[in-house]
Amino acid sequence: MYRKMYKKMCDRKPIFCVVPPYMLDAIARNGTPQQRTAALRTKAVDNTFRALRVATQPTRFAPGRSALPAPLAPALKRRSIYTAGNTQNLPGTLVRAEGQVQVQDVVVNEAYDGLGATFDFFQEIFGRNSIDDSGLPLDATVHFGNEYNNAFWNSAQMVFGDGDGVIFNRFTIALDVIGHELAHGVTEDESQLQYFNQSGALNESMSDVFGSLIKQFVKHQTASQADWLIGEGLLAPAISGVALRSMKDPGSAFDDPMLGKDPQPKHIKDFVNTFEDNGGVHINSGIPNHAFYQVATKLGGNAWEKAGRIWYETLRDARVRPNTGFKRFAHITYDVAGRLFNLNGQERAAVRDGWAAVGISV
């Protein structure tokens, strides 16, 4: 229908296809009678387009966001990196703003580049304008706390500790961890998956999926070339382990007396019921993480092109509710794969088989 209408409109006056509505108004007011007629006709079609775009939008809008499509302004990165100077005051002192040259401090530059890579990934691959799809400026604070062993998203910005150097290195060292934190913002904006039990594990898994895809995108890696590790380089040299998590083989990322053994399951039969970790959000995320890995490697090529697209559109799907669990989420990915690609296509079959590998049937 779009194409037909577009053709009809452009058969008349191609120039009006790119003329913004306010200029059409001016032409309608001040132009010759013929120009006036053409401008008004174009505007009528254009309004129909807008109405259609809103009506057929598959997603629901986050509270507080306009129900109208975002203006088609070019997506602009607006990064600000602050330092907390080893205190716990947020956001701290601005040390590098958008467009400013590199500074001496590697941590600041890693955060700046990581935010940039994350922004570019969402923009280039999914056409998303920042975390909220409305150009939200990206803020991060580094050197938070003293030897602080963590990174987190506080619902407005990212925060990175330096690590103690004994168990953890600096948290900006891993690009996928930066992507992970920002992706929490995307999830919050699109589906508000509650941060406990299965919906929380899905929230965590979305962050791992996008974090890993951002790393693969920057490294130009296909699904088979990628290591599928989350937070490689983050564990200090003396620790026996390769990363925080493995999407390829959940449960294998570390085994060290200082940390214990990686507790992630990769099959629903090993689901961990616990009150710790918000009901095991960083534990049971291994299950949907591994399902994504299975789907991406079955499809081959760049994981962000098909598997990533399916997961992203699922996150934006109105049927994903704040309390959605694994089974419902899996069903929606299967449905979305059919909608995006082909009902009988290999994409949908790969999604079905990927979930089957972790014991979830769709």
Partner 1 sequence: MQIKFTQEGGVGYFPVLSKPVTIEVDSLEQGEAEELKRLVESAHFFELPANVGTPPPPGAADYQHYTITIEEGGRSHSVRVSVPVKDDAVQNLVSAMQKQVKAARAAEIRSRAKPTADKKNP
Catalytic residue annotation: 181, 282
Dihedral angle of Cα 330, 333, 335, 340, to the nearest 10 degrees:
-170
Smallest gap, in angstroms, from Cβ of residue 160 to partner 1? 10
Distance CA 172, CA 174 (A): 6
Q: How far is the CB of 215 from partner 1 (least distance, A)?
A: 15
Q: Which two tokens stand for residue 203?
A: 């929230």
CB of 213 to partner 1, least distance (A): 18
Sign of the Cα torsion 355, 357, 359, 362 reads positive
SS3 label, residue 12: helix
181 touches 155 (CB < 8 A): no
How much is the CA Rg of the chain, to the nearest whole Å? Answer: 23
Helix pair angle (286-299, 307-315), 10° resolution: 140
Whose Cβ is closer to partner 1: residue 188's or residue 353's? 188
Helix (H, G, I), strand (E, B) or coil at 141: strand
Which long-range contacts link 124-130 to residues 24+ away (Cβ below 8 Å)?
125/213, 125/217, 125/304, 125/305, 125/308, 125/309, 126/309, 126/312, 128/186, 129/70, 129/73, 129/75, 130/75, 130/77
Considering beta carbons, is residue 39 or 131 the nearer one to partner 1? 131
Q: How far is the CB of 184 from partner 1 (least distance, A)?
A: 4
User: Residue 170 CB, nearest distance to partner 1 (Å)?
Assistant: 13
Q: Smaller CB distance to partner 1: residue 100 or 146?
A: 146
Q: Which residues contact 55 (CB under 8 A, 6 or more apart)?
A: none
Nearer to partner 1, 40 or 167 (CB): 167
- Using alpha carbons only, what angle is made at residue 19 by residues 15 and 24, rounded to the nearest 5 degrees? 105
Q: In the structure encoding, which two tokens stand for residue 356, read together?
A: 């089957």
Cβ closest to partner 1, residue 121 vs residue 144: 144
Strands (E), the chain: 79-83, 93-97, 138-144, 151-153, 158-161, 229-230, 245-246, 255-256, 260-261
Any alpha helices (H) in 220-285, and if so which ranges? Answer: 277-280
| Residue number, 20 or 322, with CB nearest to partner 1 | 322
Q: Is 212 exposed, middle or buried (0-12, 13-18, 19+ CB in 10 A)?
A: buried
Q: What is the DSSP string of 68-90?
A: SPPP-PPP---EEEEE-TTSS-S
Q: Smaller CB distance to partner 1: residue 180 or 298?
A: 180
How far apart are CB 95 and partner 1 at their closest, in Å? 18
Contacts to partner 1 by CB under 8 A: 88-90, 144-146, 148-156, 159, 164, 166-167, 171, 177, 180-181, 184-185, 188, 192, 195, 203-204, 207, 231, 244-245, 254, 257-261, 263, 276-278, 280, 282-283
What span, in angstroms and rounded, lies between the C-alpha atoms of 339 and 316? Answer: 14
